[in-house]
Amino acid sequence: MTVPAFLAAEASTSTSRTLTITLFLVFVAITLGITVWASRQTKTATDFYAGGRQFSGFQNGMAIGGDYMSAASFLGIAGLIALYGYDGFLYSIGFLVAWLVALLLVAEFLRNSGRYTMADVLAFRMRQRPVRTAASVSTIVVSVFYLIAQMVGAGALVSLLLGIKPDTTFLGMDAGTAKVATIILVGALMIVYVTVGGMKGTTYVQIVKAFMLMGGALIMTLMVLAHYKFNLSALLGDAAAQSGKGEKFLEPGGRYGVQVEGNALQTFYNKMDLLSLGLALVLGTAGLPHILTRFYTVPTSRIARKSVLWAIGIIGTFYLFTLALGFGAAALVGGANIQAQDKAGNTAAPQLAQQLGLDYLGGETGGAIMLAVIAAVAFATILAVVAGLTLASSSSLAHDFYASVIKRGKASEREEVGVARISALIIGAIAIALSIFAQNLNVAFLVALAFAVAASANLPAILYSLFWKRFNTAGALWSIYGGLISAVVLVFFSPVVSGTATAMFPNQDWQFFPLSNPGIISIPLGFFFGWLGTVVSKETDPKKYAELEVRSLTGHGAH
Amino acid sequence: MPASADRYLEVQRSEEFAELRHRLRRFIFPTTVAFILWYALYVLLSAYARDFMAIKLIGNINVALLLGVLQFVSTFLIAWYYARYAAKELDPRADAILHSVDETPAATSTDGSAQ
> Who has greater pLDDT, A257 or A162?
A257
Distance from CA of B94 to the nearest CA of A (A): 5
B73: contact with A, CB 8 A cutoff: no
A386 near A33, Cβ under 8 Å? no
Distance from CA of B105 to the nearest CA of A (A): 17
The model's pTM is 0.92
pLDDT value at residue A273: 92
pLDDT(A163) > 80: no
Find the closest chain A residue to B60 by CA distance: A233
Among A98-102, A290-294, A373-377, B68-72, the minimum mean pLDDT is found in A373-377
B80: contact with A, CB 8 A cutoff: yes
Distance from CA of B63 to the nearest CA of A (A): 9
Question: What is the average per-residue pLDDT within A330-351?
Answer: 88
Among A131, A123, A158, A117, CA closest to A24: A158
B9: contact with A, CB 8 A cutoff: yes
Has residue A500 been placed in a domain? yes
pLDDT(A234) > 90: yes
Q: Cβ–Cβ of A251/B53 closer than 8 Å? A: yes
End-to-end CA distance of chain A: 54
Rounded to an integer, what distance in angstroms lies between the CA atom of residue A401 and that of residue A398? 6
Question: What is the average per-residue pLDDT within B33-51?
Answer: 95
Chain A residue numbers with beta carbons less than 8 Å from the beta carbon of B48 are: 271
Residue type, A294: R
pLDDT value at residue A150: 87
pLDDT(B108) > 80: no
Q: In chain A, how many domains are there?
A: 1
pLDDT value at residue A346: 83
pLDDT value at residue A425: 95
Residue-wise pLDDT for A179-213, tens only, equals: 888 889 889 999 999 999 999 999 999 999 999 99
Among A442, A131, A141, CA closest to A289: A141
A176: contact with B, CB 8 A cutoff: no
Distance from CA of B37 to the nearest CA of A (A): 11
Q: Cβ–Cβ of A550/B8 closer than 8 Å? A: yes
Q: Please report which helix (H) or strand (E) contains residue A240, including its range.
A: helix A232-243
| Percent of chain B scoring above 90 in pLDDT | 81
The 10 Å CB-count burial string (b at 16+, else e) for A313-343 is: bbbbbbbbbbbbbbbbbbbbbbbebbbbbbe
> What's the longest Cα–Cα distance across chain B?
71
Has residue B111 been placed in a domain? no
Chain A segment 454-483 residues within 8 A of B by beta carbon are 467
Model confidence at B56, pLDDT cuts 50, 70, 90, reads very high
Q: What is the CATH number of the domain that holds A70?
A: 1.20.1730.10
Model confidence at A12, pLDDT cuts 50, 70, 90, reads low
Question: What is the average per-residue pLDDT within A34-58?
Answer: 93
Q: In chain B, how many domains are there?
A: 1
Question: What is the average per-residue pLDDT within A346-356?
Answer: 90
Model confidence at B74, pLDDT cuts 50, 70, 90, reads very high
Question: What is the average per-residue pLDDT within A341-369?
Answer: 87
Q: Cβ–Cβ of A236/B58 closer than 8 Å? A: no
Residue-wise pLDDT for A19-41, tens only, equals: 888 888 888 899 999 999 999 98
Rounded to an integer, what distance in angstroms lies between the CA atom of residue A348 and that of residue A164? 17
Has residue B59 been placed in a domain? yes
pLDDT(A1) > 50: no
Residue-wise pLDDT for A257-285, tens only, equals: 888 888 999 999 999 999 999 999 999 99
Find the closest chain B residue to A89 by CA distance: B68
Domain hosting A28: range is: 5-554
pLDDT value at residue A16: 75
- Count contacts between A and B (CB, < 8 Å): 170
Model confidence at B26, pLDDT cuts 50, 70, 90, reads very high
Rounded to an integer, what distance in angstroms lies between the CA atom of residue A491 and that of residue A446? 10
Model confidence at A167, pLDDT cuts 50, 70, 90, reads low
Residue-wise pLDDT for A378-416, tens only, equals: 888 888 899 999 999 999 999 999 999 999 988 898 999
| Percent of chain A scoring above 70 in pLDDT | 96
pLDDT value at residue A13: 64
Among A141-145, A279-283, A359-363, B55-59, the minimum mean pLDDT is found in A359-363
Rounded to an integer, what distance in angstroms lies between the CA atom of residue B28 and that of residue A105? 7
pLDDT(B43) > 50: yes
Q: Cβ–Cβ of B21/A103 closer than 8 Å? A: no
Question: What is the average per-residue pLDDT within A42-62?
Answer: 94
Find the closest chain B residue to A316 by CA distance: B72
B15: contact with A, CB 8 A cutoff: no
DSSP letter for A445, please.
H
> Who has greater pLDDT, A503 or A130?
A130
Write down the number of H helices and E strands in chain B. 5, 2
Chain A residue numbers with beta carbons less than 8 Å from the beta carbon of B66 are: none
Question: What is the average per-residue pLDDT within B2-22?
Answer: 90
Chain B residue numbers with beta carbons less than 8 Å from the beta carbon of A302 are: 91
B61: contact with A, CB 8 A cutoff: yes
Domain hosting B33: range is: 5-98
Rounded to an integer, what distance in angstroms lies between the CA atom of residue A62 and that of residue A460? 27
pLDDT value at residue A377: 86
| Percent of chain A scoring above 90 in pLDDT | 66
Has residue B91 been placed in a domain? yes
Has residue B65 been placed in a domain? yes
Question: What is the average per-residue pLDDT within A508-532?
Answer: 94
Chain B residue numbers with beta carbons less than 8 Å from the beta carbon of A251 are: 50, 53-54, 62, 64
Distance from CA of A267 to the nearest CA of B (A): 10
pLDDT(B2) > 80: no
Q: Cβ–Cβ of B61/A253 closer than 8 Å? A: no
pLDDT(A493) > 60: yes
A155 near A180, Cβ under 8 Å? yes
Which residue in A90, A100, A298, A548 has the most chain B C-beta atoms within 10 A of its own C-beta, making it the best mutation to test that interface? A100
pLDDT value at residue A8: 42
The residues with which A169 forms a beta bridge, in sequence order, are A174
Chain A segment 254-313 residues within 8 A of B by beta carbon are 256-257, 259, 271, 274-275, 278, 282, 299-302, 305-306, 308-309, 312-313
SS3 category, A498? strand
Mean pLDDT of all residues belonging to chain A = 90
Which residue in B26, B72, B74, B104 has the most chain A C-beta atoms within 10 A of its own C-beta, making it the best mutation to test that interface? B72
Has residue A559 been placed in a domain? no
A125 near B104, Cβ under 8 Å? no
Model confidence at A333, pLDDT cuts 50, 70, 90, reads very high
Model confidence at B113, pLDDT cuts 50, 70, 90, reads very low
Question: What is the average per-residue pLDDT within A432-445?
Answer: 80
Question: What is the average per-residue pLDDT within A295-309?
Answer: 97
pLDDT value at residue A68: 92
Q: What is the ipTM of this complex?
A: 0.91
Has residue A84 been placed in a domain? yes
The 10 Å CB-count burial string (b at 16+, else e) for A74-111 is: bbbbbbbbbbbbbbbbbbbbbbbbbbbbbbbbbbbbbb
Rounded to an integer, what distance in angstroms lies between the CA atom of residue A323 and that of residue A85? 9
Rounded to an integer, what distance in angstroms lies between the CA atom of residue A540 and that of residue A528? 19
Distance from CA of B28 to the nearest CA of A (A): 6
Q: Cβ–Cβ of B39/A278 closer than 8 Å? A: yes
Find the closest chain A residue to B87 by CA distance: A302
A127: contact with B, CB 8 A cutoff: no
Question: What is the average per-residue pLDDT within A218-232?
Answer: 95
> What's the longest Cα–Cα distance across chain A?
74
Has residue B110 been placed in a domain? no
Has residue B109 been placed in a domain? no
